[in-house]
Structure 1
Amino acid sequence: MRWKTAELTGWGRVLSGAVTLARPERPSALAAIFTETPAPAIGAQRSYGDAAINSDGAAIDMNRLDRFIGFDPETGVLNAESGVSITAMLDTFAPKGWMPAVMPGTGFATLGGCIAHDVHGKNHHGAGTFGQHVLSIELLCVDGSLKTLTPARNKDLFAATIGGLGQTGVILSAKIQMTPCSSRLIQVDERRAANLAEFMQMLKSSTATYCVGWIDGTANGQSLGRGILEEAELTKSNMAPKLRKPRKVPFNAPKFALSPPTVRLFNTLYFNRIPTNGRGVLRSLGDFFFPLDKIHDWNKLYGKRGFHQFQCVLPDATAEQTLREMLRLIADAGLASPLAVLKRTGAGRAGPLSFPMEGFTLALDFPNSDKSRALVKQLNKMTAQAGGRIYFAKDSLATATQIKDMYPELADWQKTVAAADPEGHFKTDLVRRLKLRETA
């Protein structure tokens, strides 16, 4: 197996690091690597910060281990290598009547990455997290052995692996339970929310299978927290979706592209595109679940400076007041991009470091600057004070002290990980920055 020097960068293009990278194409090649150099695995590098970076160390690119191993068309159980993308699963099995039960915000995410971050989707309030639909995991351990993990077999290691940021070993393959898919088209109903209180009530009362909101991070005053609610249900249409050619951002955009006046104008136009009485549209599954995937390299819109994404989840008891304070702070700063999301989350989570809790999650992008870093740090502090959590897949600025309070099961996870990887071969920049494996 050849190793090469590479620069790994988070999707936010702010944090990066030089690594020695291997890219095995077969499980046997991966096993050979482990005889000499156990190292953390990386997938599509769609985490925004430093979760997939191991500066001045080694890393294993799993993208070529992307084969379907088996599929039962009667039960919908899929067995696949960890480098398989969500888009590949959807494109292959939706025509056969099945789809992943939980869809992250990008179809480029890999099976292994979805497990390692225990991702959630637009149906978390009903379906829980991705890891709750994982039946078994084949884990390549630091000593080169292969272990089968299930909720009953090696159950502590199974739980620590889901949402465990790759710290227990390398996920070679997994079996997941897919969900029935009646069509490749989805009916989406869009309605305006005039302010935060109305928006949160709409989210709470929604009975739709899929539900997500776009929120205007520039609005203030009586319009604070206004946005657009999208509720969606699969159809029974036999029509094939129209395939749209992806576009690409060919170069780094100049700063004025996302200047405050430009963003305010865009957000106003985007909000007003929905009639006051709402509207319904028919979309392809890909367009609904992965709206930004049709714009390749969209992260270049933030220019060479890159961007930070802040995503928190807040419990019901503190959510409305905290969100109101956060949105005022964000609107006053004038730093938000058009990419902002508000969702209702349920109680489902599969591992001790899984992100969701019952409440609301807010996600916004901020162009990288001294001012935006200070803002995100303040938002992280407010999240901790409100009893919420930040999402490891998006974070680049949280502190170790904040994390220990946000994840009360951290100590239990640390014990399992210490036994699985006693010498710390699988540590990454994020794990070191947040001191996730350092016991109190």
Structure 2
Amino acid sequence: MEGQLTGWGRTAPTTATLCAPTTAAEAAAALRDAGGRGAVARGLGRSYGDAAQNAGGTVLDMTRLAAVQSLDLEQGLVGVEAGVSLDKLMRLLLPFGWFVPVTPGTRYVTVGGAIGADIHGKNHHLSGSFSQHVTRMRLLTADGATHELRPGDELFDATAGGMGLTGVILDATIQLLPVSTSLMTVDTERADDLDDLMHRLETTDHRYRYSVAWIDLVARGAATGRAVLTRGEHATPDMLSPRQLADPLAFRPRSFPAAPRGIPGGLLRTATVGAFNELWFRKAPREKRGQLQRIGAFFHPLDGVPDWNRVYGRAGFLQYQFVVPYGQEAVLRSIVEQLSRHGCPSFLAVLKRFGEGGPGWLSFPMPGWTLALDLPATVPGLGPLLDRLDEQVLAAGGRIYLAKDSRMRPQSLPGMYPKLADFRALRERIDPHGAFTSDLARRLAL
């Protein structure tokens, strides 16, 4: 069956042959029949760009390979097929007092996608990325063989963050995090500008497991980079009310009506986003400690609005995420100022601090500052602006996140990812005929 696919940003649609294997054997058969344009695996489609698209080729929808294979409640280990979502894991595991070790801003991500993009969350400064909590995985390669991989294996390290280009992840075992409630204790504070924000993060982040800052990228002048800083920990039973203690591990995420179809593309202008950002900043407390929040509200607020990506209109949006090393704060400051001067209407912009990077050859995180922002695709001059920012990130020794990218130029990639040559060489060795490919792979010559 043919179908048109996009990433979560809803830009650059392409058509591919779609198949949905229910077993490893069916996945291998689909790979054999893929033809000259190759194949790529796809989960729930939450990569923002073209990583899970394959124009004229085959796309394997892995969401039907979604069995929980094993669960060790003593050691906190769960074995799952690649199509299991983080949402399913949370619903299954929280009642037993276990939580996923890393979650991004959405829980609608499959385990296979979490490994392929080596996702990170609000706790990277302490806990690293998702693949650092994977104890084993099984990979289907281009020759039809399956390989049992463990951390330190060359193919494991190439697959973690490898964007699905080394093979099809079939299943994996994950080390979980013990928790005693399904609530978070949250501290919130406002920062007056970017320097104030970075100082607060540098001096106090080590006190918290989770940390993130929302930045107002429309604010200018003395308020440039003003932010709302939110940090949290898993709440303990002694923090709960008697009513909450009756079911301390309950996980009931709230849901709201879906975003409507046909939203006008010009709705998110600088003026409207500026008004929203002003309201959001002013309603945040100057300082509030120990507020109890549901896990869904703290980690995944947008998941409560199905199809929220429609608010950007038919043209869609880009998410731009970069990291620059510690010591390059001037570059971060300059980029924030340029985005503000350009009038980029972004109401979703978050700054975090990364800890040590993982072993993945193409994994995005590295020690430094990472800024992620959503931008309507219709912003005038957006392409040239982001090209200039790419150059500054590259010159600073930073990189762009491949799972978010939809427009980077291929010549920027080698300087951002030092292990790229090794990755390409391994792909040439294990997949000489290019059985695994994607729109992203062709665009960036991966």
Q: TM range, normalised to the smaller chain?
A: over 0.9
Partner residue in 1 for 2:278: 268
Shift of 1:280: 4.3
Q: Which aligned pairs between 1:232-247 and structure 2 lie closer than 5 A?
A: 232-237=232-237, 238=245, 239=248, 240=250, 243-247=253-257
Give 1:252 deviation, angstroms: 3.0
| Secondary structure of the corresponding residue to residue 292 of structure 1 | helix
Q: Is the 8 A contact 2:186 2:231 kept in 1?
A: yes
Aligned to 1:402: 412
Cα distance between partner residues in 2 of 1:242 and 1:426: 38
Instruction: Return the alpha-carbon distance in structure 2 between the equivalents of residues 36 and 5 of structure 1.
Output: 14
C-alpha separation between the residues in 2 aligned to 1:189 and 1:269? 20
1:381 paired to 2:381: no
Deviation of residue 317 (structure 1)?
A: 1.4
The 2-side partners of 1:232 and 1:67 are apart by 31
Give 3-state SS (helix, strand or coil) of 2:303's partner: coil
Q: What's the offset of the Cα at 1:27? A: 2.5
1:214 aligns to what? 214
Is 1:108 the counterpart of 2:108 in the alignment?
yes
Of residues 234, 255, 259 in structure 2, which corresponds to 1:249?
259
* Residue type of the alignment partner of 1:82: A
Give, in angstroms, the shift of residue 39 of structure 1: 2.2
Residue 187 of structure 1 corresponds to which residue in structure 2?
Answer: 185
Deviations 1:355-404 (A, max 9, x none): 01111100111111342222222222221121111000111111111111
Residues 102 and 123, structure 1, Cα contact 8 Å, conserved in 2:
yes
SS, match of residue 415 in structure 2: helix
Determine the structure 1 residue equivalent to 2:368.
359
Equivalent position of 1:96 in the other structure = 96
Match of 2:23 among 17, 23, 26: 26
Q: Distance in 2 between matches of 1:241 and 1:31?
A: 36
- Aligned amino acid, residue 321 of structure 1: A
1:23 maps to amino acid:
A
Q: Structure 1 residues 172 and 242, CA, compared in 2 at 3 Å: closer, same or farther?
A: closer
Aligned to 2:431: 421
CA distance in 2, matches of 1:158, 1:299: 33
What is the distance in 2 between the residues matched to 1:108 and 1:255? 25
Secondary structure of 2:165's counterpart equals: coil
TM-superposed CA distance for 1:109, in Å, is 0.7
Identify the residue that residue 158 of structure 2 maps to in structure 1: 160
How far did 1:245 drift?
2.6
Q: Deviations over 1:278-330 (max 9, x none)?
A: 35432111221111111111111100011111100010111x21121111111
2:124 is the counterpart of 1:124: yes
User: 1:421 corresponds to which letter in structure 2?
Assistant: D
Q: Which residue of 1 aligns with 2:440?
A: 430
Q: Which residue of 1 aligns with 2:145?
A: 145
Give the aligned residue type for 1:337.
S
3-state SS of 1:327 partner: helix
Equivalent in 198, 201, 215 of residue 196 of structure 2: 198
How far does residue 177 in structure 1 lie from its aligned partner after superposition? 0.7
Compare 221-230 and 272-281 and name the one that shifted more. Answer: 272-281
**Unaligned 5+ runs, structure 2:** 238-244
TM-score using structure 2 length: 0.94
1:41 aligns with 2:41: yes
- How far 1:243 sits from its partner (Å)? 4.2
In 1, the alpha carbon distance for the partners of 2:396 and 2:5 equals 34
Structure 1 residue ranges without an equivalent (≥5): none
- How far apart, in 2, do the equivalents of 1:314 and 1:28 lie? 42
Instruction: Give 2:171's aligned residue.
Output: 173
Paired AA for residue 154 in structure 2? D
Provide Cα deviations, 1:72-100, integer angstroms capped at 9, x if missing partner. Answer: 00001110000000111111101101111
Question: Aligned partners of 2:75 and 2:143: how far apart in 1?
Answer: 34
Which residue type is aligned with residue 19 of structure 1?
Answer: A
| Counterpart pick for 2:287 among 277, 281, 305 | 277
Q: Is the 8 A contact 1:252 1:302 kept in 2?
A: no
Q: How many aligned positions are there?
A: 430
Match of 2:241 in 1: none
Instruction: Note if contact 1:330-1:336 (Cα within 8 Å) is conserved in structure 2.
Output: no
Match of 2:242 in 1: none
Which of 307, 326, 333 is the aligned partner of 1:297?
307
Q: TM-score, normalising length from structure 1?
A: 0.95
Identical columns (%) = 43
**SS of residue matched to 2:18:** strand
Give, in whole Å, the separation in 2 of the partners of 1:246 and 1:66.
Answer: 26
Query: In 1, are the aligned partners of 2:188 and 2:229 still within 8 Å (CA)?
Result: yes
Deviation at 1:241, TM superposition (A): 5.3
- Contact 1:160/1:417 (8 A) holds in 2: no
- Structure-2 residue corresponding to 1:86: 86
1:324 aligned partner = 333
